[in-house]
């Protein structure tokens, strides 16, 4: 890798070797951006064109790349070219303030925010202090009424920002540089959060908007006036928590973090327990202490031989069965799993 592609010209401006005229470069004196010593343009030789020190001595590559990074960033800042940054943010569901099942941890979607720094800042100053810390480049908004905090741009070869500087709560974007071509690429690129570009003290801001992808399943239980029950699952965005079925005696909604299936308890079981605890009677052969499931998965009534009840009853025959007895031990064994579920009872008319 040939370094020193840039140098100061006779007027103190940084010039790239590609912009030096091969016909007129001889006799011109350039100066090193890092050490300030005299350099000459080497063009048309075996090596790639570059600037070379006339008198070799100690010259810091770190200082050279650091100054080049600052120069190129500042040049871009005051050009017409945007400086885009991308950083993590998140969107909140637009119903989060009104939905009774809302949760700030699940009713959101992680997104990448993309902004042009020039929308916020209009000045870029080298080696300026703010709040006791010096920035390689300090971006500021001259309109103080906007109350936009300054942004530190740090160009890093080896020495990263100190922990004290990071903990200062100042916004910092730290950009790694390691060779001349990479400096040029980095100062032209979108500044994305990655291993070579680090953001500090950027808060992930939230925006509220309707987004169909911010949704999850809710589990619905209804106990009707007839004594029959109904269960289904709904997308949260489609639930109206203020409306209930006109023939419902009891109606509720559950949320389970394990999504489509409850881990140890079904929607029917959870809803039944809540209905019973609310003072309603639920009769279903699934809940009868005399019911069982045989080895083939078929539903059976243990009382059919003694009392002539149907051997394979429809589950709602419990509504008229004189021998129905609710299996309290079974329901009590399930109560421990209700803590896994978020619960909302709907207002029955």
Q: What is the DSSP string of 161-205?
A: PPHHHHTT--EEEEEE--SHHHHHHHTTS-EESBTTEEEES----
Q: Is the pLDDT of residue 12 over 80?
A: yes
The reported pTM is 0.68
The pLDDT mean for the chain works out to 89
* Rounded percentage of the chain residues whose pLDDT exceeds 90: 49
Identify whether the C-beta of residue 309 lies closer than 8 Å to the C-beta of residue 278.
no
Write a three-state SS string for 240-300. Answer: CCCCCCCCEEEEEEEEECCCCCCCCCCHHHHHHHHHHHCCCCCCCHHHECCEEECCCCCEE
Residue 27 — very low, low, confident or very high, per pLDDT cuts 50/70/90? confident
Q: Is the pLDDT of residue 274 over 90?
A: yes
pLDDT at 153: 97
For 140-184, how does the pLDDT look when each residue is reduced to its tens digit (9 = 90+)? 999 988 999 999 999 999 889 999 999 999 999 999 999 888 888
- 42-51, 128-137, 195-204: range with lowest mean pLDDT: 42-51
Q: Is the pLDDT of residue 264 over 90?
A: no
pLDDT at 261: 55
Identify whether the C-beta of residue 32 lies closer than 8 Å to the C-beta of residue 53.
yes
Write a three-state SS string for 93-132. Answer: ECCCCCCCCCCCCCCEEEEEEEEEHHHCCCEEEEEEEECC
Q: What is the DSSP string of 327-342?
A: -HHHHHHHGGGGGGEE
Here the tokens at position 299 are 């539903």
Identify whether the C-beta of residue 225 lies closer than 8 Å to the C-beta of residue 246.
no
Q: Is the pLDDT of residue 1 over 60?
A: no
Beta bridge partner(s), residue 206: 90
């Amino acid at each position: 890798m040939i370094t020193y592609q840039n140098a100061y010209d006779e007027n103190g401006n940084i010039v790239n070797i590609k912009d030096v005229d091969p016909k007129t470069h001889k006799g011109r004196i350039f100066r090193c951006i890092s050490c300030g010593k005299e350099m000459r343009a080497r063009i048309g030789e075996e090596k790639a064109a570059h600037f070379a020190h006339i008198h070799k001595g100690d010259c810091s590559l770190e200082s050279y790349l650091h100054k080049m990074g600052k120069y190129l960033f500042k040049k871009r800042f005051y050009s017409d070219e945007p400086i885009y940054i991308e950083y993590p943010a998140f969107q909140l569901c637009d119903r989060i303030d009104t939905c009774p099942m809302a949760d700030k941890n699940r009713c959101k979607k992680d997104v990448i925010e993309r902004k042009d720094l020039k929308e916020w800042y209009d000045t870029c100053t080298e080696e300026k202090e703010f709040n006791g810390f010096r920035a390689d480049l300090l971006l500021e908004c001259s309109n103080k009424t906007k109350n936009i905090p300054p942004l530190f741009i740090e160009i890093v070869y080896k020495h990263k920002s100190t922990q004290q500087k990071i903990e200062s709560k100042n916004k910092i974007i730290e950009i790694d540089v390691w060779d001349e071509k990479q400096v040029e690429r980095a100062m032209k690129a979108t500044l994305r959060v990655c291993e070579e570009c680090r953001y500090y003290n950027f808060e992930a801001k939230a925006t509220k908007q309707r987004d169909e992808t911010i949704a999850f399943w809710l589990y619905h239980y209804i106990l009707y006036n007839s004594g029959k029950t109904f269960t289904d699952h709904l997308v949260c965005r489609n639930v109206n928590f203020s409306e209930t079925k006109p023939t419902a005696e009891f109606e509720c909604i559950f949320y389970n973090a394990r999504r489509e299936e409850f881990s140890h308890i079904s929607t029917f079981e959870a809803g039944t327990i809540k209905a019973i605890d609310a003072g309603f009677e639920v009769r279903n052969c699934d809940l009868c202490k005399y019911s069982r499931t045989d080895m083939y998965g078929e539903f059976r009534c243990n009382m059919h031989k003694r009392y002539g009840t149907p051997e394979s009853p429809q589950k709602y025959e419990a509504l008229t069965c004189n021998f129905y007895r609710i299996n309290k031990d079974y329901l009590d064994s399930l109560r421990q799993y209700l803590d896994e579920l978020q619960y909302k009872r709907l207002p029955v008319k």
